[in-house]
Amino acid sequence: MFKPQIDTQEPRPTCLEVDLGQLAANYHAILAHLGGVPAMPILKANAYGHGLVPVAKLMEHLGAPILGLAFLEEAIALRRAGITSPILVLGGILGNQIPRFLEHDLILSASSVDKLQAIDACATAVGVRARVHLKIDTGMERIGVHWYSAEALLEASLRCASVDVLGIFSHLSTSDEADTSLTRLQLERFCEVLRFYEARSLPCPVRHLANSGAVLQHPDTWFDLVRPGILTYGVLPSDQVPVTVPVQPALTWKSRVVYFKVVQAGQPVSYGATWAPADWTRVVTVPVGYGDGYPRALSNRAEVLIGGQRLPVRGRVCMDQIMADLGRGEAYNGDEVVLLGRQGDQRVTVEALAAWVGTIPYEILTGINTRVPRIYLNDPFA
């Protein structure tokens, strides 16, 4: 019989439990699979909802050689939290941001000749050396110089007075799909760019191309470094990839019952009167909603776990509350409700939430609002 445990120390009935021990196990499993190729964990979007600073501290503790982020602001937050590891900001930059990169000892992505020259000029002006990775677009059409015109960027990098080119990279757009044709084409284009260094007998910077999908099924893309994102958090990037790395989710989203009532037949529940029971039923209210990142599109679709049983969400998801249908079952104020994760023998997966919404697991994880407290389990620093 499943017995919920009530922790009176929770700052709010709705919280995320993040198992840092599982995150560590996932990272070690990825490294074992890579067989010696180092991995740069990607911590953007609040570490995929798991909490930027605690996850960064863990990865630094585990010896990650470099951390990957999307934006300057994320990187500065880590520096202010005491993270000293090398940090690569993978996203595009504006010229007026360059001094802040240099001030905080951050690695920039140089995605065009103009941006590279601006970085060089700024570094020269303040008397420091800038560290960059060159970004090549091999088919994503997002940021980066096109592979067919990349030589100008590489040539310009050789003329910079105050820039150290540490790496060169591209991003795969379909590495998590069963059709591997575009991934193979992007790999060929990337290798074509890299021949620039061989043709001039120059040492090649650190090469990186592989994201989570490529870690799982494209070992020929691993090069000198890989960039596992969602895989680090125990979630597969799609259902089309083979499960070649034994990872498990590290996050559980919980709340508690705060109200119980009997709803009579025909009485609609929640906004818009989108659902009403055919017969009387027992309904509980749970203090979580789309204001927390529990999508409104889960209305009348999702299931939650109470007392080890799967129960449907009824009526529209509100900003701060949802209602679950007990039928003839029982629940009490304070009973644990699992929105995402395991309870007893039952489990609600992020893939299931994404399917109910019609989106991808990435959006579910990164959409969990920061007003939801994170509670860290198996913390090596505790």
Boundaries of domain holding 308: 251-348
- For residue 314, what is the domain's CATH number? 2.40.37.10
pLDDT at 228: 98
For the chain, list residues with pLDDT below 50. 1-2, 8
Rounded CA-CA distance 33/346 in Å is 29
Q: Verify that 89 and 61 share a domain, yes or no.
A: yes
Rounded CA-CA distance 382/375 in Å is 12
353 inside domain: no
Q: Verify that 194 and 293 share a domain, yes or no.
A: no
Rounded CA-CA distance 116/354 in Å is 39
pLDDT at 147: 98
Q: Verify that 284 and 315 share a domain, yes or no.
A: yes
pLDDT at 95: 86
pLDDT at 12: 86
Q: Verify that 42 and 177 share a domain, yes or no.
A: yes
Q: Verify that 83 and 229 share a domain, yes or no.
A: yes
* Backbone φ, ψ for residue 52 (5° rounding): -60, -55
Angle at 91 between CA 110 and CA 197, to 5 degrees: 35
Cβ neighbours for 90, distance < 8 A, ≥ 6 positions apart: 42, 44, 68, 69, 70, 109, 135
9 inside domain: no
How many domains, the chain? Answer: 2
Q: Verify that 186 and 273 share a domain, yes or no.
A: no
pLDDT at 5: 53
Q: Verify that 203 and 298 share a domain, yes or no.
A: no
pLDDT at 382: 76
- For residue 27, what is the domain's CATH number? 3.20.20.10
Q: For 85, which DSSP code?
A: S
> How would you classify the pairing of strands 303-306 and 336-343?
antiparallel
Where in the sequence numbering do the catalytic residues fall?
44, 271
pLDDT at 9: 58
